Amino acid sequence: MKDTKVKELLNKMTLEEKIGQMVQVAGDIFLEEDINVSTGPLKDLKLSNEMLYNVGSILNIMGVDRVKKVQDEYLSKSRLKIPLLFMADVINGYKIAFPIPIAQGCTWNVKKIKKMTQISAMESNIAGVNVNFSPMLDLSRDPRWGRVMEAIGGEDPYLGEIYAKAMVEAYQGEDISKLGNIASCIKHIAAYGAVEAGRDYNTVDMSEREFRQYYLPAYKSAINTNAEMIMTSFNILNGIPATINKWLIQDLIRKELNFKGIIISDYSAIEETIAHGASENEKHAALNAINAGVDIDMMSGIYANNLKDLCLESKEIEEKVNQSVLRILRLKNKLGLFENPYGNLDKEKEKTYIMNKSNLEETKKLTQETFVLLKNNNNVLPLKEDKKIALIGPYADNIGITGSWSIFSDRTKNATILEVFRERLGNENVLYSKGTEILRQDEINKILKADGSPTIFIENEKEKEEASIKEAVEVAKKSEIILLLLGEHYKQSGEACSRSNISLPENQINLINELYKLNKPMVMILFNGRPLQLNNVENKLDGILDVWFPGTTGANAIIEVVFGDVNPSGKLTMSFPQSVGQCPIYYNHYNTGRPHTKDFRYMSRYQDIPTESFYPFGFGLSYCNFEYRNLKLNKNVLKEKDHITVTIEVENKSDCAGYETIQLYIQDLFGSVVRPVKELKGFKKLYFKPHELKIIQFEINKEMLKFWNSDLKFVAENGEFKVFIGRDSENTMEKNFFTK
Ligand code: NOJ
């Protein structure tokens, strides 16, 4: 409808109805037989029944029948028949679980990420989603933080920027009301990935310059791509919770970045400002949030129960409420919900499109590009089918490979590695033993207890573990090669999954140690939601293939890579540490005055471990062997509005074909503020035929040299620079150039 009609609608609304639009609750309540808000999950929110039928949006209800039922139930009681908005966390896919976002980032393949995002948007749109809480664009440098698994750009601002744009474009399309398009809610603003010590929800304190340089670019890129919504983060940013941070929301997001969309708090984050000690009580929390500019209160009841009084006390607050409600009504209008409250819900397509064959095939291909080959001594991979292979480990016969955020996908549809191996090689040719559990029960119990779930006691767990490892050793003895399927539990990464120990679980390390004694080639397929500390097992393994949490098509994707039908090409987007003691760790750090260039005591170093990462940012092997040579610049002085052309020869020196991602980094050797040792500024992912030689070309211009100086101006300063090209952030060739 016309915008004038939207404004007319706003004028017809009572204050309670307006405030309702600014409240979001979990959708399940509408599905209960007898909706009684004095019991169940809404009791804590202290919502009245009247307010329940005024709420503007709900969270995480999907599926044609359910969404229709909820919308009908709601509209039947709503005076002005303003349809509900359905928002959800479709983080790595709806029914098809894609690899987790950190894995997707490792493809360095923007086209594939776009394709996958479109499938995800289409599947969820058919099933009723109007707004998706994705992408998560929090720069992540600390693998102790469980949410690094959601960070598509990993530790890099440039990758974050590119992926942000691609994903918002793919979610929203040209017109968000069209079938297959949904509004994108980017999150979490801001700098949530920098929580101290990697502990979730913890404090963030950093200079504005640092924030603008590294943390802001991905969010900004999504805002410039017209993302419809922003979610605030749980953390304090420089002393003030992000959710009530006026500088962040008003000055930066609304005024400077000109963001016109809706701002929603994270789950109960407005209320949490009281626990932070930044709001005195609920009413004060509501005042702080509305003054900062939060339009929707997700699941705290603070707006529902306090905004009315605030409006009655102040015309200014009432005006702010009007502005917020107008934004919300406009989004509903843009989605076409006033004409059709069911959006693109489609029963027929729910049956035919969701989990369809061609999308699953597409997903498998994308999944294969997320795998990162971390080690491959003596070309142990790909495996030969005529070798006797033993599959050992708790992930061999496990469907829990979709990650903790795939809340809508049906895990029982996932094939296991064991099944696909048996199918390919024949039952009799596959040796298998579980070896050990993913985690000991006492570890799992800690997680279950914190979840409020019942715990399980296992009698003689230690003895059982030893016996099971022994059995695995016996099975492995009959093999020529051991394929280990190991990793983190899916419940160990995601929200509220911070860990101080990021090694493999002890029982799995014991398994590796026992098998190592057999002196047979061992390859580990690693399932994980974060970079792990692998220094305590790596030297016992000949090969390591990191497959993250690969999702619905994971098992089929893995077997094809393991046998070489497909060549792995993923490159890391987060550094793997030598030890958790190095965290946070990232490649684009600053030099100290005592860089660790030689082994001398008074250097910036550790006494007990190397300074460098274990596997650097950008790292990932291939079955091909790529040689880099002849780095050339067409000139070594860069003038205003000009560019330097950089070329390098890359040759595939092997008989197989595969992708390589050629990476370009720049270092500003001297600046008015200290500049990082190198920064990613470009990359090309290219397909090489066997023995193909390519001359690869990049251009460098002054725009690429800009940074935030101490006056908070984004400038390029003239001087000397280094350009690096290579296969990862450490293995590079370099040349110097100057700017004038
Ligand atoms: C909390 C998480 O931080 C956020 O990412 C998510 O979108 C909301 N809960 C809603 O589920």
Q: Give the pLDDT confidence of 503-554 residue by residue, as tens digits.
A: 999 999 999 999 999 999 999 999 999 999 999 999 999 999 999 999 999 9
Q: What is the pLDDT of residue 32?
A: 76
Query: What pLDDT sits at residue 150?
Result: 98
Q: Indicate whether 41 pLDDT > 80.
A: no
Give this prediction's pTM. 0.97
Q: Rounded to the nearest whole angstrom, what is the distance from the C-alpha of residue 591 to the centroid of ligand 1? A: 36
Catalytic position from the list 266, 346, 542, 668:
266
Nearest CA residue ID for atom 10, ligand 1: 267
Closest residue by Cα to residue 732 from 650, 653, 655, 670? 650
Q: How far is the CA of 479 from the centre of ligand 1 (A)?
A: 46
Ligand 1 within 6 A of CB of 133:
yes
Nearest to 556 by CA among 357, 352, 389, 350: 357
Residue 187 in contact with ligand 1 by CB distance below 6 A: yes
73: closest CA among 44, 112, 31? 31
Ligand 1 atom closest to the Cα of residue 133 is 7
Give the pLDDT score at 50: 87
The predicted pLDDT at position 39 comes to 55
Q: What pLDDT, in 10s, does the model give residues 408-463? A: 998 888 999 999 999 999 999 999 999 999 999 999 999 999 989 999 999 999 99
Q: How far apart are CA 98 and CA 103, in angstroms?
A: 9
Band (pLDDT 50/70/90 cuts) for residue 347 is: very high
Distance, first Cα to last Cα, the chain: 55
Cα–Cα distance, 293 to 615 (Å, whole number):
42
Q: Provide the pLDDT for residue 28.
A: 84
The first and second tokens of residue 698, run together, are 């990049």
DSSP H or E run through 165: helix 157-172
List the one residue out of 146, 145, 162 whose CA is nearest residue 107: 162
The response to whether residue 108 sits with its C-beta less than 6 Å from ligand 1 reads no
- pLDDT, one tens digit per residue, over 656-703 is 999 999 999 999 999 999 999 999 999 999 999 999 999 999 999 999
- Is there a catalytic annotation at residue 608? no
Distance CA 153, CA 164 (A): 8
Torsions phi, psi of 21, nearest 5? -60, -25
Query: Is 37's pLDDT higher than 80?
Result: no
pLDDT at position 464 over 70: yes
Residue owning the nearest CA to atom 11 of ligand 1: 89
Under the banding of pLDDT at 50, 70 and 90, the label for residue 45 is confident
Q: Does pLDDT of 339 surpass 80? A: yes
